[in-house]
A and B are shown apart, each in its own frame.
Chain A
Amino acid sequence: MKQENEALIQFPSLSANEALARQIAAAFAAQMDPTLDELGDVKTAVSEAVTNAIVHAYPDRIGPVSLRLRRLPGNVLEITVKDRGCGIPDVAKAREPMFTTGGAERSGMGFTIMESFMNSFALRSVPGKGTTVRMRKKLTGRVNGE
């Protein structure tokens, strides 16, 4: 039985922190013996969630973004990305593939990718207060590792 573990980091919404967040998540997940594909999925999902907080939550200012990583029983990785930005007025609409308010620089595929690359995905947003994304993924782990 492996120990549960947890890490919490907060950083300003600077785009240079996208790579930082991915690397931290990958380093945390690496303790759980993921496959290379699983590690790729985790990095991609974190990149999408953190990029949203950086690009959309604070359109004209720099604000705080937090990334919380937890190892849950059963070798499940939980990732929570939170901002205190503008929030999403229509969450169902925002989750539709190709929907974007970001113009030609964005694809509108972020939420679709988070949902399909992770086992579970939950989105909570309050306009004017902020947005929280919580995702979980079961990682393979070594057979005798759990």
Chain B
Amino acid sequence: MTYTSLLQDKRLTILLSGEIDHHSARQTMEAVTSKIDVYLPRCCVLDFGAVSFMDSSGIAIVIHTLRAMEELGGEVWLANIPPQPMKVLRAAGIEKLVRLGAERSPA
């Protein structure tokens, strides 16, 4: 998986893609953490627009990102979530933890 990211006005957007499962999750977590450590953003947007499948491993990625951003006093937004990943995230009550944006985030 490749992780394109953009930084603007202290907002870091990370574009996730492909299938998110346990097999790929560790690598994604490490990529997200290292980008946050480098850019020290105020807000981290995880863009799910190109995610074709996600299981509960993705929930752990979101929570991991949330922890990393809480350490910086920042916040996490989730953007462009397709129906299948959305159903998984909702099963975990993720909308109580992070802000969900259906629209493409103004990056």
Q: How far is the CB of B80 from chain A (nearest CB, A)?
A: 17
Q: How far is the CB of A54 from chain B (nearest CB, A)?
A: 7
User: What mask results when residues 30 to 60 of chain B are scored 1 for a CB within 8 Å of chain A, else 0?
Assistant: 0000000000000000000000010111011
Task: Say which size band chain A's interface belongs to.
Answer: 20 to 34
Tell which of B21, B26, B87, B88 touches A51, judged by Cβ atoms closer than 8 Å: B21
Given contacts A18-B22, A104-B64, contact A113 B56 (CB under 8 A): yes
A window 84-104: CB within 8 A of B: 97, 104
Q: How far is the CB of A43 from chain B (nearest CB, A)?
A: 6
Given contacts A16-B23, A54-B22, contact A48 B55 (CB under 8 A): yes
Q: Could you tell me if B56 and A107 are in contact, using CB atoms closer than 8 angstroms?
A: yes
Q: A interface, by DSSP: helix, strand, loop or mixed?
A: helix
Q: Report B-chain residues with C-beta under 8 Å of the C-beta of A55.
A: 22
Q: How far is the CB of A135 from chain B (nearest CB, A)?
A: 14
Q: Could you tell me if A44 and B23 are in contact, using CB atoms closer than 8 angstroms?
A: no
Q: Could you tell me if B56 and A109 are in contact, using CB atoms closer than 8 angstroms?
A: yes
Does any Cβ of A come within 8 Å of B106's Cβ?
no
Q: How many A-B residue pairs have CB under 8 A?
A: 71
Q: How far is the CB of A143 from chain B (nearest CB, A)?
A: 23
Q: Could you tell me if B91 and A109 are in contact, using CB atoms closer than 8 angstroms?
A: yes
Does any Cβ of A come within 8 Å of B29's Cβ?
yes
Q: Could you tell me if A116 and B21 are in contact, using CB atoms closer than 8 angstroms?
A: no
Least CB separation from B67: chain A residue: A104
Q: Report B-chain residues with C-beta under 8 Å of the C-beta of A44.
A: 53, 55, 84, 87-88
Q: Report A-chain residues with C-beta under 8 Å of the C-beta of B26.
A: 105
Q: How far is the CB of A52 from chain B (nearest CB, A)?
A: 9
Q: Report A-chain residues with C-beta under 8 Å of the C-beta of B91.
A: 109, 112-113, 116-117
Which residues on B are within 8 Å of A, measured CB to CB? 19, 21-23, 25-26, 29, 53, 55-57, 59-60, 63-64, 83-84, 87-88, 91-92
The contact sample of 22 A-B pairs, CB cut-off 8 A, is A15-B23, A19-B19, A19-B23, A40-B84, A41-B87, A44-B53, A44-B55, A44-B87, A47-B21, A51-B21, A51-B57, A104-B64, A105-B26, A105-B29, A106-B57, A107-B56, A107-B57, A110-B56, A112-B91, A113-B91, A116-B91, A117-B87
